Structure 1
Amino acid sequence: MLLSDISQKIQRGDKLAMLTCYDATFAKLMESEGVDILLVGDSLGMVLHGQTDTLQVTLQDMCYHTRTVAAGARQTVIMADMPYGTYEHDQELALQHAQQLINSGAHIVKIEGGGAMVNTAKYLIDRGISVCAHLGFTPQSVNQLGGYKIQGKTESAANIIMQDAQAMSDAGVSFVLLEMVPAQLARTITQSINAPTIGIGAGADCSGQVLVLQDLLGIYSGPANKPADAFKAPRFVRNFLSETGSVQSAVRAYIHAVKAGTFPAPQHSY
């Protein structure tokens, strides 16, 4: 029922507002404000555990936080990241791990990357698991990508992302999440594939947007082992709390801005 509600919103042309969430208190608050999708992101490795990346997050971590989010939000779609090392090498193991996240309360699992991951996505989908494909900048590949950098800037790189998005859509994914890609590329992909797109640092023309909650509130200042004054927020971040004065109002303002098409603005895009 929940996923069919999302489909109806997309068919009406409504923009989707998604936020990361890691606990029951915020899940309940976000549900009451009308967030469309709650993402239990492996970003928790950075914003909750104080790590420099997402690579140390375990499946047990993800199942725990998915259960707590599901306890607080009974009427909202929950998407959960499959953490690094749980789906890349063995499709049967990927299915078992995805089922653990579904049993913990997720409605959709998210996997990073295209290429060989298309077959993994299809394997999961054919066995009843709803999947979101994550393309562009993929945090679990941060070392391979050489850091937190925009993806798809060259014609050849853009073509690869475009091909992966089309292949994932053809495989039947529920969403394609595009992170840190040029707005024009995200627009082209959104117009070209059947699956709805979710953007983060990908311009305003995606079917929906996502932000990390701690970024929306302006409270993330980098990993625990580095000074706060050394941290610079990514271009796509907007501090809604500083504009509104309360957490509830900040979440409400974010939802309104996404649905009105005023966020992300050009200064938040590449």
Structure 2
Amino acid sequence: MNVEKLKKMKGKEKIVMVTAYDAPSARIARDAGIDVILVGDSLGNNVLGYENTIPVTMEEMLIHVAAVKRGAPDAFIVADMPFLSYQTSVEKAVENAGKFLKVGANAVKIEGGEEFGELVQKLVESGIPVMGHIGLTPQFVNRFGGYRVQGKTEKNREYLLRSAKELEKRGAFAIVLELIVEEVAKEITESVSIPTIGIGSGRFCDGQVLVWHDLLGLNPDFVPRFSKKYANLYEVILKALQDFRREVKEGLFPTEEHSFTDKSKGGVSS
């Protein structure tokens, strides 16, 4: 997969994107045939235990992007630019985005609308592919006053449409549409020639993205309405750990099968 192939999928084949934050997850996503792996700054609340994405640093993101690359070296990987890694200056943004490509990302994702058009253009001119992100942008949650669905007012609808067209004009190869009312997401999708990838934005986007922990049911305390739980791995993992604990306490593990003697044949994995 590459930027040009993704762009050509618009209107022909739905794009599937999922977040991943480590090598084992990335390998599974690749083996499942996922088109794009996003190393999201959702790393913060899903892996690092932060309340939201704002505390996530460049150093943390770089570690996890590199891990994802090692797990899926042939996958198309997009790295989220974390809070304040691109807002302070164009020069700093180019430097930070370049760091992601050096550790294995194929592109970066930037939250924000038309106000970041010049920055997107500079990144693209510097050889860094950019995926846009409009609608509910978690890094700006304090400005929005919470996690609210976007596109409900005419003013906001016009801003989102202008932003999508500006990002396209400046060279973005795709745009994530997050928590936008379905009718407006459809209008945006039809107004640009680059793919839109929705999350909580209805049925008419050119693709969909979900967070790893949401779709696999790893967080029983958070089940967003816009997501779908395709498995309940929390319960599966919980039971496995409970069974392990019980067998150790009762002396049922390890058995002879899991032990080595001077007569054992083969290696550790036998």
State the TM-score bracket (shorter-chain normalisation).
Answer: 0.7 to 0.9
C-alpha distance in 2 between matches for 1:4 and 1:191:
19
C-alpha distance in 2 between matches for 1:156 and 1:234:
26
Structure 2 residue aligned with 1:235: 225
| Shift, 1:36, TM fit | 0.2
Q: Note closer, same or farther for the CA distance 1:246–1:13 as it changes in structure 2 (3 Å cut).
A: farther
| Shift, 1:76, TM fit | 1.5
The alignment status of 1:180 with 2:179, answered yes or no, reads: yes
C-alpha distance in 1 between matches for 2:202 and 2:77:
23
Bigger radius of gyration: 2
C-alpha distance in 1 between matches for 2:236 and 2:20:
17
Unpaired runs of 5+ residues, structure 1, are 222-227, 248-270
C-alpha distance in 1 between matches for 2:17 and 2:10:
17
> Structure 2 matches for 1:13-24, cutoff 5 A?
13-24=12-23
> Residue type matched to 1:88 in 2?
Q
C-alpha distance in 2 between matches for 1:162 and 1:6:
21
C-alpha distance in 2 between matches for 1:20 and 1:246:
21
The alignment status of 1:77 with 2:81, answered yes or no, reads: no
TM-score computed with the length of structure 1 as normaliser = 0.84
The question of whether the paired residues in 2 share the 8 Å contact of 1:2 and 1:75 is answered with no
SS at the partner of 1:163?
Answer: helix
| Shift, 1:74, TM fit | 1.9
Alpha-carbon displacement from aligned partner over 1:182-227 (angstroms, at most 9, x marks no partner): 0111111111101110000001111110000000011124xxxxxx
> Structure 2 matches for 1:31-180, cutoff 5 A?
31-180=30-179
C-alpha distance in 1 between matches for 2:13 and 2:20:
22
| Shift, 1:115, TM fit | 2.9
CA RMSD of aligned residues (A): 1.8
Structure 2 residue aligned with 1:201: 200
C-alpha distance in 2 between matches for 1:89 and 1:130:
20
The question of whether the paired residues in 1 share the 8 Å contact of 2:7 and 2:194 is answered with no
Aligned-pair identity in percent equals 39
The question of whether the paired residues in 1 share the 8 Å contact of 2:218 and 2:232 is answered with no
Unpaired runs of 5+ residues, structure 2, are 238-270
Give the number of the structure with larger relative contact order, counting CA–CA contacts within 8 Å between residues 6 or more apart. Answer: 1
Alpha-carbon displacement from aligned partner over 1:138-188 (angstroms, at most 9, x marks no partner): 000011111111011111111101100010011110111100000111111
| Shift, 1:5, TM fit | 3.4
| Shift, 1:51, TM fit | 1.2
| Shift, 1:102, TM fit | 0.7
SS at the partner of 1:99?
Answer: helix
The question of whether the paired residues in 2 share the 8 Å contact of 1:135 and 1:176 is answered with yes
> Residue type matched to 2:160 in 1?
I
